[in-house]
Amino acid sequence: MGSAGPLQELVADHATAAGSWILEEPHDAAGCTVMAAESLGTTPLPSRGRSPLLVVIAAEEVPAALWPLALEAGALAVLPLPSASEELLSRLADLTRSRAGTRRIGVAGGCGGAGASSFAARLAGAARRHGPVALLDADPLGGGLDLLVEAGGTQGLDWSRTAALGADDGEALRAGLPCVDEVHLLVAGEQPGPDREDLPRVLAALEPLDGTVVVDLGAPLVPFATAHLDELLLVVPAADHAVRAAARRLRDWSLPTGLASAVVRRGGGLTPGEVAEDLDLPLAASFRDSPRGTVPLLDVRRRGADRAARTLLSRLLTGEPT
């Protein structure tokens, strides 16, 4: 917490109500880090930076001067208390919930045409041997992932029918999704895709289940998904223009430290290591394009993107060596 007194007591009360507790010192295993505004820049964050950061302040509103400091620290939210008590309770309940259930992996493109949807489908295919898997097409305009994997017209639930979804409806949701080669698929079909409220609600509902959720993220929804992801994979072609576009997106998204890593599509003139270094991201994987006409998820190859996806999933889900 970083600050004693009434503010810490108020946060402790909210943590108790959310079924969690406060650790006196920052810890890598914490579900989230709550920091008083006065401690920004003076109290160290967990070394791996993986726990989301909430900043609280005893005030009626957030001072304008506080926002740059909070953004620099990677804060998920800045909450004035007690007026934002309900939001604090809601965020604590979600962020400190056990992560023993579904592994949620976001995949986003560093630029247009990066190949993120194709790689997301290949990740979902690789996850099949690790248990149940769902593949979410999270593009607000409707990304057409069902067409990419040649599953257009498949009957089942789509994004337009998730508005009434509750926190305990994850099992029913997954069971109602169309299944393509053992992968449950949530797409928009002929309707608009998810919005900033739909996606977090679906991810929260799927979280307690076993297995894997792979989310093919449209750029506008990335900031609204980060609190619900275990990893975010940024697919970037190995070209100067793609790296510059990816850098702009990373600045706009203001991601939590340590959440994102790079997946590099080879063949653009730069090495995977150079791409990762330029973006200041760890390198998760690299791959070369599959042969023309290969259908992601359905046409699985021994090498290329499918091999990269299998190796990456083994490392993320089981800790197997790469």
| 286, 263 Cβ separation under 8 angstroms | yes
Domain that holds residue 42: 6-95
Q: Round the average pLDDT of the chain to a whole number and report it.
A: 85
More confident of the two residues 292 and 48: 292
pLDDT digit string (tens) for 8-19? Answer: 888 888 777 665
123 and 154 in a single domain? The answer is yes
User: Looking at residue 272, what DSSP letter applies?
Assistant: H
Q: Note the pTM of the prediction, 2 decimals.
A: 0.71
153 and 271 in a single domain? The answer is yes
121 and 170 in a single domain? The answer is yes
118 and 257 in a single domain? The answer is yes
34 and 140 in a single domain? The answer is no
Last residue of a domain, one of 95, 114, 131: 95
109 and 198 in a single domain? The answer is yes
- Does the residue 66 lie in any domain? yes
pLDDT digit string (tens) for 116-163? Answer: 999 999 999 999 988 899 999 999 987 688 889 988 777 788 898 888
Count of structural domains, the chain: 2
Q: What is the rounded CA–CA span in Å between residue 204 and residue 200?
A: 6
C-alpha torsion 46→257→305→318, nearest 10? 20
Last residue of a domain, one of 55, 73, 95: 95
User: Looking at residue 230, what DSSP letter applies?
Assistant: S
- pLDDT grade for 263, boundaries at 50, 70 and 90: very high
pLDDT at 30: 52
Residue 144's nearest CA partner among 103, 190, 200 is 190
Does position 90 have pLDDT exceeding 60, yes or no?
yes
pLDDT digit string (tens) for 168-205? Answer: 889 999 999 999 889 999 998 888 889 999 999 999 99
Axis crossing angle, helix 272-279 with helix 240-253, rounded to the nearest 10: 30
More confident of the two residues 319 and 46: 319
Last residue of a domain, one of 56, 76, 95: 95
